[in-house]
Amino acid sequence: MNETVEHNSTINLKNLMDINKPYKDQLVIFGDALESLSQMPFGIVDVAITSPPYWGLRDYGHPTELGKEEDSQEYINRLMLIHNELKRVLKDSGVYFLNIGDKYVNKGLELIPDRVAIAMKENGWAVRNKIIWNKTNPNPSPVKDRFSNSYEVVFMFVKNPDNYLAPEYYFNLDAVRIETSTEDKQSDLPLFVEEKDIKELLKKVKPCDYNGKFKAADRINIGASAGGRASTNKTVYSKQRKHEISKETKLEIINLLRDARSKKEISIPEIDKHFNTVHTAGHWFRTDRGGSSLPSSDQWKELKKLLGIKVKKFDKIMTEEHYVLQTVRNNPKGKNPGDVWNIATASLKEKHFAPFPPGLPERCIKACCPDGGIVLDPFCGSGTTLKIAQSLGRKSIGLEINDTYLGIIKSVVGNKLEYTYLE
């Protein structure tokens, strides 16, 4: 028999993270999502996953519920107020997955998901993925003047970093890799080869049938080309930097270059001209994570001369190289599942409900919620996200405006569910 620990009193959400917090693992808070989030502490959630009521599609039985707005822009504006509070509650390392649907008005789509994503970007979020949830069992459609819809989008958002050393979000790809069965035909070749050994190894490797921009006879660096990697034999090596450079060290190097360039009073266009490059040198001096890069080994040596840098601290990690096999190998842990997820829809016997399919929150939680982390669903509905979090050993908080759904949530989440109301 399932036990549900009931709290008929209200709770101060500011105390959610206290040692003596009044809930255990799965908590449902009944109240308006915006009001509930505004009362929650800063930075307590590791991953948020939700599917809010879509605009103008369903009536869930509450007079102030989201989705009943006069027009789609009012709906988006209201949703963005909720997202502003969600951003505050989410950890800097947190991730937010939003499943949101569209609606036709006067024969045309409102493009609500895309408009929400644009608004999120403008409000300091980064769109990491636009995932296509391909419904393997879509509902039949009577429409005859367009193609029936068989997918929905799931956006993956993170807090947009405002500087190079902004906290990185948590993402564990290995937890959601898909097993591959294709054998690696080049498994007998070493992945990394030192300079002194490369010539001897290449005597044993058959030439490839490549006629791209690199010389066909040069089986060392053909791997720098996509065409080379796609050649028949795929046995090519590319010279690459040997040492992995941390973001902190990378920033040290970039700041060294910036200071030297400032003292030398040389412009970036002048540096590009010196190296006979176009729009390349600028990336060596950028401190934002997305646009920065480091010069190659040869470029580093030349750049030091050009800027008059005498420091030798970074020479080893910047100049030591080895050869890396450029054949396409299957990761032994499995492949990246990609951004098209083939998942069947789920259903409940209760009227009006369109619950998450379990596989959707499961993949999100496995990838983006560390052990011991907290999952939040601001529109928890039937409680599927909480149930999956429970099965994966994570704690969860669900927000729901309509307490008449308590019985449904109890039946889904089951044992030791706790619930409360706003103060």
Domain ranges in the chain?
Answer: 4-173+335-422, 183-329
pLDDT band at 9 (very low <50, low <70, confident <90, very high): very low
Whether the pLDDT of residue 228 is over 60: the answer is no
Nearest to 324, CA basis, from 238, 241, 222: 238
The pLDDT assigned to 235 comes to 57
The helix or strand, by DSSP H or E, that contains position 96, with its residue range, turns out to be strand 90-100
The pLDDT of residue 378 is above 50: yes
pLDDT(84) > 50: yes
pLDDT tens figures, 19-77: 445 556 889 999 999 999 999 999 999 999 999 998 877 777 777 778 788 899 999 99
Per-range mean pLDDT, top range of 151-155, 192-196, 412-416: 151-155
C-beta separation of 373 from 46 below 8 A? yes
**Predicted local distance difference test score (pLDDT) of residue 191:** 78
Hey, which residues does 193 pair with through a beta bridge?
A: 323
Alpha helices in 96-179 (DSSP H): 112-122
Q: What is the dihedral of CA 194, 195, 201, 205, to 10 degrees?
A: 110
Residue 292 CA to residue 249 CA, distance in Å, equals: 13
pLDDT score of 60: 74
Q: What is the pLDDT of residue 223?
A: 54
Distance CA 253, CA 111 (A): 44
The pLDDT of residue 3 is 44
Per-residue pLDDT at 207 = 54
The rounded distance, in Å, linking the Cα atoms of 369 and 172 is 8
211 pLDDT above the threshold of 60: no
Check residue 2 and give its pLDDT: 40
- Statement: residue 352 has pLDDT above 90: no
The confidence score (pLDDT) of residue 154 equals 97
**pLDDT the model gives residue 234:** 52
| β-pair partners for 151 | 134
Nearest to 375 by CA among 358, 361, 355, 360: 361
pLDDT at 68: 81
Predicted confidence at residue 359, as pLDDT, reads: 94
Distance (Å, rounded) from C-alpha 55 to C-alpha 77? Answer: 12
Instruction: Say how far apart CA 395 and CA 376 lie, in whole Å.
Output: 9
pLDDT bracket for residue 153 (50, 70, 90): very high
Highest mean pLDDT among 114-123, 196-205, 399-408: 114-123
pLDDT for res 17: 52
Looking at the DSSP assignment, which residues form a beta bridge with residue 105? 108
User: At 53, is the secondary structure helix, strand, or coil?
Assistant: coil
Phi first, then psi, for residue 385 (nearest 5°) are -60, -40
Q: Could you read off the pLDDT of 237-288 as tens digits, one per residue?
A: 778 889 989 888 999 999 999 999 999 999 999 999 999 998 899 999 998 7
Q: Confidence class of residue 324 from pLDDT cuts 50, 70 and 90?
A: confident
Q: What is the DSSP letter of 314?
A: T
- Output the pLDDT for position 192: 84
Find the helix or strand (DSSP H, E) in which 374 lies: strand 374-377
What is the phi/psi pair of residue 202, to 5°? -65, -20
Reply yes or no on whether the pLDDT at 338 is more than 90. yes
Query: Do 67 and 54 form a contact (C-beta atoms < 8 A)?
Result: yes
> For residues 50 and 162, what is the distance between their CA atoms, to the nearest angstrom?
26
Q: What is the pLDDT of residue 262?
A: 95
Taking the C-alpha atoms of residue 420 and residue 16, their distance in angstroms, rounded to an integer, is 12
CATH number among 3.90.1150.10, 3.40.50.150, 3.90.1570.10, 1.10.1740.110, domain 4-173+335-422 = 3.40.50.150
- The pLDDT assigned to 290 comes to 62
Residue 409 has pLDDT above 50, yes or no: yes
Instruction: Identify the helix (H) or strand (E) that includes residue 10.
Output: strand 4-11
Q: What integer pLDDT is reported at residue 76 of this predicted model?
A: 95
Query: Of 22-31, 67-76, 184-193, 368-377, where does mean pLDDT reach its minimum?
Result: 184-193
Q: CA–CA distance from 256 to each of 167, 252, 260, 262, 284 (Å)?
A: 22, 6, 6, 10, 10
Average pLDDT of the chain, as a whole number: 84
Residue showing tokens 């819809």: 149
Better-scored residue on pLDDT, 356 or 290: 356
User: Are the CB atoms for 296 and 317 separated by under 8 Å?
Assistant: no
